[in-house]
Structure 1
Amino acid sequence: MGWQFGLLLLGALLASHLIAMALLQRTGQLINPASRNQTVTTLSAVHALAMRGADMELAGADQDRAWLAEAPQVAPFAMLPEERHLAAAVAQALRLPAEGAVWMQIERVSGQQARASVFSPAVWQPLRLRASIALPDGQWLNASLGLQGRYEWSRILLFALPASVLPVLVVAWLVAWRLVRPLRRLIDAAGQLRYGHELPDLPVRGPHEARELTRQFNAMQRRLAQHRDARTRMLAAISHDLRTPVTALRLQAELIDDENLREDMIASLVELQAMVEETLDFARADARAEAWQTVDVAALLAPLERRYQQLGHTVPFTVPTGLRWVCRPIALRRALANLIENALRHAGDAAVRVVLPGPSTAGALCLCVEDAGPGIDPRKLEQVFEPFLQLDDARGPQRQGLGLGLAIARTCVEMQGGTLVLENRSEGGLRAVIRLPAPRRA
């Protein structure tokens, strides 16, 4: 935004210079006053030499010359105002009649009009005066003299542009910096808020509009935190309150004499208890995030590998040694556990692979959980992350759980600025990919 604002001001400044040049070129004086006086003096001296019959060689530029001829080089014509004024000044200095004795024509050295368009290359060419002065013997004194223009645009712009552009650009940069800095803070804060970062209120600085926007952002952040906390407390309270009657029902079910009925009741209560625990897990995942820590990735995942070995599941872990990363370890391990459980439940197998940060991962740490199951309809790969959602045909005929595992995993990953996506493998099965970028703060 800052450089765009600077370019806009620079364009406006250059446009104003061009407009001024066009106006002055059309209506301003053509000849520098000193050059005008010098021209009158030179023509007076040449006229005096011509009257005495002396040599009229001019000391000056190579193109300056004077000569006698039977006819004027400047035929009578309707002279422009500056030409009439110069002719009148010469006539007055030579004491000649004001009309008909002196003819002047001002033009560019290329022969083009003196008042050329500001966009024409001729405007940068020097001026030249062609003059014809009548002598008493009927001859004409012709002269061609160089003139210094009133506005030498090359020199004017050489000094005017730096003198005007640099201060304006400095002021524009300061103004843009004052405008952009609060917006940049808001952008950074909005990105961190999206991933569940706990942020202090942003400082209220800058122009009035930026201050008001910052106040509204701070208020919005507080309202979001209040809403999230209220929802978390509500879910936790409901799930906690359900534990007591479920436990009581299970105790009563143990007293049922009919064995088949007792086993059915206990199985239903176990499933209900699992649903309550899963809801509590979701509420905890949505609660305030844990602190950042620098951990050894292999050491972080080792307990998970041992856990599944003890449960009788073969879950291979491919993890580089010596890899350290800044993350929220409990949330990350929880996300991986949910993904592994999901793969084991629906596909019967799971494998974990850690990909080192590099150009192929855009500098992010990638953790992949892969299986060889039936996969998911590509149109529903994003839909399965919705809380409490279960696909009727998702990954096999049996439906287990409450549909919160993937939602909890994504929440745990997004808490630390990461992303979690699902993709079908070309060789068959599903791949869950966690990408953890280098965090903004540790």
Structure 2
Amino acid sequence: MRPLWSRSLAAQIICFMLLALAISQGIGFLISWDERGQALRAAAKGEFFSRTASLARLIEGTPSAIHDGILRASDTSYTRFWLSTEEPRSALEWRQEAREQLAKPLPSLTKPHHDAPGPDKREPEDVSEAAAAITAAVAAPTSWVELPPAAWPLSRPAKFVYLDNSIGMGLAVRLDSGAWLNAAFAKSLHNSIWTSQSAVSLGITAAVLSLIAIGVARSIARPMRRLAGAAEALGRGETVAPLPESGPDDIRQTAEAFNRMQERLQRFVEDRTRMLAAIGHDLRTPLTTLRLRAEFVSDPDIQDKMLKTIAEMETMTEATLAFAREDATAESTRTVNLCALVESLCDDLAELGRDVTFVEGPTINYRCRPDALRRAIRNLVENAVRYGERARVRLVRTADTIDIVVEDDGPGIPNMAMEQVFAPFYRLEHSRNRETGGVGLGLSIARAIARHHGGDILLTNTHPGLRAVVSLPSFDQA
């Protein structure tokens, strides 16, 4: 079994559209990821500068006795502020100090142990994120950068350093008192754009695209199925109404091409039938003339041979016309009980004294041209009785075909002649009786009818006997 996506046009369109959606969303996510990271870093940097500048103004405007309280109140989970009397020199040493400051727990993040004798026995409740951030910061060496007054809110220069390659940063600014305000910020920002909203948005987009793909696939598949059905019916010799020439250019041009092809085929068949009818009509006149002249032949033996030859020519002419008419038959198709059709044919031949036996089979409703199919089966049954003494007929249903099997007890057919016997006017000289074998069109007509129904006739030697199988496609079953 082939997978669904390879058998269904809708599944293929959905897969390709979802693949395009995934690729486009992936590219968009990568672009947004970088832009969002830059925006987060810029926002964090601006907020850090603004907060440090505000704290510097506040300390300069308040008594020194409350500076420690102000600094502790300004600390956050990811920011620490402290004062130093000397200007920071080495960036590496300053980072180490920043790490120690950030590792100190905030009062709101501590809790006492049961065995803690005092406030000194207090540990951070959860400082793993800050510790991880400052650890990464210390691992990224760099040097101080002089920050001009125009680059941050205060009208004085400051010393700036990046703690890592991501979001960690430090700042040191000289106060009016000569002390230095130090600020350290280290936060691992989760720059994730895949959120529940993103998943919902992507799911809704995928669902909408799938519905659109189903609609597009149906709009394409519907005329294609209609074209396939019309082509199959035309191949079985049915009269097919012209396809509607509407829709997109590709579909409309396909329908137009099919309609033109059908019109040309019908015109070709009609022209050929008219030509053969005209030939048959024109041949009757010289044959009649020959018959009249043969009457004046004095030698009885010559006269008898001439009349037999003329009669054979007339028979072949009529058979040829009958074959051409059958090949271009306009009989309408309808649904019949195939088992009943074959059984009634066998009963009719049995009443005429033929040794024909029908084996009861399943009831099968089948859409066909019943008169033509009956003629094909009759030709096979009559051949079986004529050359194989008796005929046994049965119906067999398989997964793909419906087979009408005709078996006899005759000598069979040489393997090299299995295809030749279907040629018009071909007769086996030894295995067939030339006097009673007709003109050799029975199997040709039978195969033409079977092929017009989308099937074929297969011959097999059974030693002794011959098996003829009219194999019809089972998808025509109604």
Q: Verify same fold: TM over 0.5.
A: yes
Matches within 5 A, 1:320-359: 320=361, 324-344=365-385, 347-357=387-397
Secondary structure, counterpart of 1:202 in structure 2: coil
For the pair 1:260 / 2:326, whether they are aligned, the reply is no
Between the aligned partners of 1:200 and 1:11, the Cα distance in structure 2 is 40
Between the aligned partners of 2:46 and 2:229, the Cα distance in structure 1 is 67
Query: In the alignment, what sits opposite 1:145?
Result: 187
Aligned partner (choices 77, 80, 86) of residue 142 of structure 2:
77
Between the aligned partners of 1:95 and 1:63, the Cα distance in structure 2 is 36
Q: CA deviation at 1:291?
A: 2.7
User: Contact between 1:278 and 1:404, CA under 8 Å: does it hold in 2?
Assistant: yes
Q: RMSD across aligned C-alpha pairs, in angstroms?
A: 4.4
Point out where structure 2 has 5 or more consecutive residues left out of the alignment. 1-8, 56-73, 85-100, 110-124
1:65–1:439 Cα change, 3 Å: closer
Query: In the alignment, what sits opposite 1:409?
Result: 446
Query: In the alignment, what sits opposite 1:368?
Result: 405
Query: In the alignment, what sits opposite 2:358?
Result: 317
Between the aligned partners of 1:401 and 1:88, the Cα distance in structure 2 is 116
Matches within 5 A, 1:373-392: 373-376=410-413, 381-382=418-419, 384-386=421-423, 388=424, 390=426
Point out where structure 1 has 5 or more consecutive residues left out of the alignment. 108-128
1:313–1:250 Cα change, 3 Å: farther
Between the aligned partners of 1:48 and 1:12, the Cα distance in structure 2 is 48
Query: In the alignment, what sits opposite 2:470?
Result: 434
Aligned partner (choices 63, 74, 77) of residue 128 of structure 2:
63
Query: In the alignment, what sits opposite 1:32?
Result: 40
User: Contact between 1:298 and 1:323, CA under 8 Å: does it hold in 2?
Assistant: yes
Aligned partner (choices 194, 209, 226) of residue 168 of structure 1:
209
Between the aligned partners of 1:236 and 1:164, the Cα distance in structure 2 is 66
What count of residue pairs does the alignment treat as equivalent?
Answer: 403
Query: In the alignment, what sits opposite 1:287?
Result: 328
Query: In the alignment, what sits opposite 1:122?
Result: none
Between the aligned partners of 1:152 and 1:26, the Cα distance in structure 2 is 10
Identity in percent: 32
Between the aligned partners of 2:463 and 2:172, the Cα distance in structure 1 is 104
1:161–1:300 Cα change, 3 Å: same
Between the aligned partners of 2:126 and 2:459, the Cα distance in structure 1 is 83
User: Contact between 2:388 and 2:465, CA under 8 Å: does it hold in 1?
Assistant: no
Query: In the alignment, what sits opposite 1:276?
Result: 317
Matches within 5 A, 1:89-108: 92=152, 98-99=158-159, 101-105=160-164
1:241–1:61 Cα change, 3 Å: farther
Bigger drift between 168-177 and 188-197 goes to 168-177
1:78–1:26 Cα change, 3 Å: farther
Query: In the alignment, what sits opposite 1:118?
Result: none
Q: CA deviation at 1:285?
A: 0.5
Secondary structure, counterpart of 1:146 in structure 2: coil
1:106–1:351 Cα change, 3 Å: farther
- What letter corresponds to residue 432 of structure 1 in structure 2? A
User: Contact between 2:238 and 2:332, CA under 8 Å: does it hold in 1?
Assistant: no
Bigger drift between 161-170 and 294-303 goes to 294-303
1:48–1:144 Cα change, 3 Å: closer
Query: In the alignment, what sits opposite 2:98?
Result: none
Query: In the alignment, what sits opposite 2:59?
Result: none
TM superposition score normalised by structure 1: 0.73
User: Contact between 1:297 and 1:319, CA under 8 Å: does it hold in 2?
Assistant: no
User: Contact between 2:427 and 2:434, CA under 8 Å: does it hold in 1?
Assistant: no
Query: In the alignment, what sits opposite 1:10?
Result: 18
TM superposition score normalised by structure 2: 0.68
